[in-house]
Amino acid sequence: MAVRLDEIVARLGGQLVGDGGIRVTGLATLESAGPEQISFLSNPKYRSQLATTRAAAVIVDASVAVECPAAAIVTPQPYLYFARLSQWIGAQPRPVAGVHATAAVEGDVPASASIGANACIAKDARIGRNVVIEANCSIGPEAEIGDDSWLHANVSVYAGCRIGKRTIVHSGAVIGSDGFGFARESDGSWIKIEQTGRVLVGDDVEIGANTTIDRGALGDTVIEDGVKLDNQIQVAHNVRIGAHSAMAGCVGVAGSATIGRRCTVGGGAIILGHLQIADDVHVSAGTLVAKSIPEAGSYTGTVPFMEHAAWLKNFARLRHLDAMADRIRALETRLAALEEGKKS
């Protein structure tokens, strides 16, 4: 779609510098943008690319607006503005409504829904308005998919689980598989504990490809409104993730952990079970969280993890550990010589 710059500003705000009649047809980076595309500058690392960009327009903040060789949209948060613009002119078109001839639908679906090839929707499942369920998805009995949600190909939603409105679930995700619950017999064998809870996913959530969210053992696993989960994340049974928290790829959250609102968790981090994480906690990539975090802040490390600033200070010292050990040995030798001299 082609959109005029003055139309963009009228819809999203910001200050237009340059010709409002310029039309843009797509989004691109500063380096790759062509004369019909719009870009943005948020990270100072790419500031040098601004001078040579071929973009028709650039979204910038006021500090660099005078350096922009093209038309500019000036806003305090260029990256956020770019995100909102991408939802308008870069959004993937929704498939045509209707049920594919090869889909197996045991109940009723709204006429506005789109059900793809070989999708299976079980009896008593509830499908909202304008829902997209792509090819090979499986929706279990009494599961619920809220209005305007989009399930990409090969998503499985187990029985009784609920997905809210405007939620996106990417390919290969599994919602509601059994949690890892077993009791051990005296002979060392394992007895399965039936997982009788559900997964409850709120509104405006995004769940990445091949992410798995286990159903609760007794109560429910809860993903609150606005949560963003990257690809290949494991969320165990009875976990609760607070509203607007975000997790990068390969995070693992063990059973019954509770994570607060507006938290972020970097890629590959591990949160052990039955822990309580406060609101506004930020866990760095690769961190092992082995105890509850009662206060907001940034946390980094493995064994043990600690407040981020303390970790940086200790790690700086760790790099000089060998030299410090040599100095200590030298001091010990001198001290032993002084003590020997006193004795003689």
Return the CATH number at 82.
Answer: 3.40.1390.10
- pTM score, two decimals? 0.85
Q: Rg of the Cα trace of the chain? A: 27
Contacts of 171 (CB under 8 A, 6+ apart): 134, 152, 153, 154, 155, 209, 210
Residue 344 domain flag: no
pLDDT of residue 91: 84
Q: How far is CA 50 from the centre of its chain?
A: 29
Residues 73 and 107 in one domain: no
- Please check whether residue 149 is in contact with residue 166, taking contact to mean a CB–CB distance below 8 angstroms: yes
Q: CA 16, CA 114: separation in Å to the nearest integer? A: 39
pLDDT of residue 344: 67
Which of 89, 120, 144 is a domain's end point? 89
Residues 117 and 201 in one domain: yes
Average pLDDT in the 38-58 region?
95
Residue 151 domain flag: yes
Residue 333 domain flag: no
Query: Based on the structure, what is the number of domains in the chain?
Result: 2
Residues 256 and 294 in one domain: yes
Residues 198 and 146 in one domain: yes
Dihedral (C-alpha) 327, 329, 331, 332: value to the nearest 10 degrees? 160
Which of 62, 89, 116 is a domain's end point? 89
Residue 98 in tokens: 């209707």
Residues 82 and 103 in one domain: no
Domain of residue 77 covers 3-89
Average pLDDT in the 88-99 region?
91
Residue 240 domain flag: yes
Q: Is the pLDDT of residue 303 over 70?
A: no
Active-site residue identified among 100, 152, 170, 237: 237
Residue 320 domain flag: no
Phi (first) and psi of residue 48, to 5 degrees = -65, -25
Which of 49, 68, 89 is a domain's end point? 89
Q: Is 339 exposed, middle or buried (0-12, 13-18, 19+ CB in 10 A)?
A: exposed
Q: CA 156, CA 285: separation in Å to the nearest integer? A: 28
Residues 168 and 296 in one domain: yes
For residue 150, list its beta bridge partners: 132, 168
Average pLDDT in the 243-271 region?
98
Residues 67 and 124 in one domain: no
Residues 131 and 279 in one domain: yes
Residue 278 domain flag: yes
pLDDT confidence of 324, banded at 50, 70, 90?
Answer: confident
Q: Is the pLDDT of residue 22 over 90?
A: yes
DSSP SS3 for 127: strand
Residues 142 and 246 in one domain: yes
Q: CA 203, CA 164: separation in Å to the nearest integer? A: 4
Opening angle at CA 44, ends 39 and 46, nearest 5: 50
Residue 269 domain flag: yes
237 classed as catalytic: yes
pLDDT confidence of 126, banded at 50, 70, 90?
Answer: very high
Residues 79 and 138 in one domain: no
pLDDT of residue 302: 76
Q: Is the pLDDT of residue 1 over 80?
A: no
Residues 302 and 173 in one domain: yes
Residue labelled with tokens 């959109």: 3
Q: CA 140, CA 70: separation in Å to the nearest integer? A: 52
Residue 342 domain flag: no
Q: Whose CA is closest to 69, among 85, 82, 55, 81? A: 55
Contacts of 184 (CB under 8 A, 6+ apart): 190, 191
Q: Is the pLDDT of residue 150 over 80?
A: yes
